[in-house]
Amino acid sequence: MKIAVVYHSETKNTQKVADIIVEGAEKVEGVEAKSMSIDQVDEAFVNEAKVVFFGTPTYAGTYSWQMKKWIDTSKIKLAGKVGCVFATENFLGGGADLAELSLIGMLLVKGMFAYSVGIGEGLPYTHFGAVCIKDGTEEQQERVRLFAERVANNVKKSFKE
Ligand SMILES: Cc1cc2nc3c(=O)[nH]c(=O)nc-3n(C[C@H](O)[C@H](O)[C@H](O)COP(=O)(O)O)c2cc1C
């Protein structure tokens, strides 16, 4: 099962979190995950992916315009895939939640199945998606890893071929 991780990153925080998503997802047997910047998207891989994670920095309390532009202009068909999100921010309360909810709205419009694990697996909860302050403390990074592993596990179980 392929999992694509598409991110926008200018100063590498979101890129580092994207790499941790890959690490977490690949803990699940049979999962091949690949992270890719919006500037270098492997379209063939995304087309084959069952899950697409979208990672964004928080810009003025929401997701970045670069990510919005990529989603608005990409010709890749996202409908029917599971969509998950993660965001980085500089400050606690800096708007990452709204960035994620806005991104999730976009995924719904695209026809994706939005998924966050939520409170479904107990602590630590992932309310809307993973959040890191900059590239995250060790604890935040561990939550990212677990989030990705849980998504991979649950999608593998629930969305059989
Ligand atoms: C234009 C701009 C707006 C930003 N707005 C916010 C913000 O509203 N809240 C916040 O916590 N951080 C804000 N930041 C900080 C970034 O979200 C944060 O540094 C992020 O981790 C950068 O990701 P990157 O290193 O992947 O580019 C902003 C940064 C820029 C460049």
How much is the pLDDT for 41? 98
Question: What number does the ligand 1 atom closest to the CA of 133 have?
Answer: 21
Query: Per-residue pLDDT tens for 128-147?
Result: 999 999 999 999 999 999 99
Rounded to two decimals, the pTM is 0.98
Nearest partner of 86 among 67, 73, 108, judged by Cα: 67
How much is the pLDDT for 160? 72
Query: Per-residue pLDDT tens for 57-85?
Result: 999 999 999 999 999 999 999 999 999 99
Ligand 1 mutation pick, 36, 89, 135, max ligand atoms within 8 A of CB = 89
- Helices 13-25 and 138-158, axial angle in degrees (round to 10): 50
Q: Looking at the predicted structure, is the pLDDT value of residue 159 above 90?
A: no
What share of the chain has pLDDT > 90, as a percent? Answer: 98
How much is the pLDDT for 53? 98
Ligand 1 centroid – CA 95 distance (Å): 9
Decide: 94 in ligand 1 pocket, CB within 6 A: yes
Question: What number does the ligand 1 atom closest to the CA of 7 have?
Answer: 26
How much is the pLDDT for 148? 98
Nearest partner of 145 among 158, 157, 136, judged by Cα: 136
How much is the pLDDT for 161? 64
Q: Looking at the predicted structure, is the pLDDT value of residue 122 above 90?
A: yes
Question: Looking at residues 11-22, what average pLDDT do you find?
Answer: 98
pLDDT greater at residue 161 or residue 89:
89
14: which 2 tokens? Answer: 């979101």
Q: Looking at the predicted structure, is the pLDDT value of residue 34 above 80?
A: yes
Report the alpha-carbon distance of residue 131 to residue 48 in Å, rounded.
26
Distances (CA, A) of 74 to 21, 78, 132, 154, 159: 22, 10, 26, 27, 25
Question: Looking at residues 101-111, what average pLDDT do you find?
Answer: 98
Structural domains in the chain, CATH included, are: 2-158 (3.40.50.360)
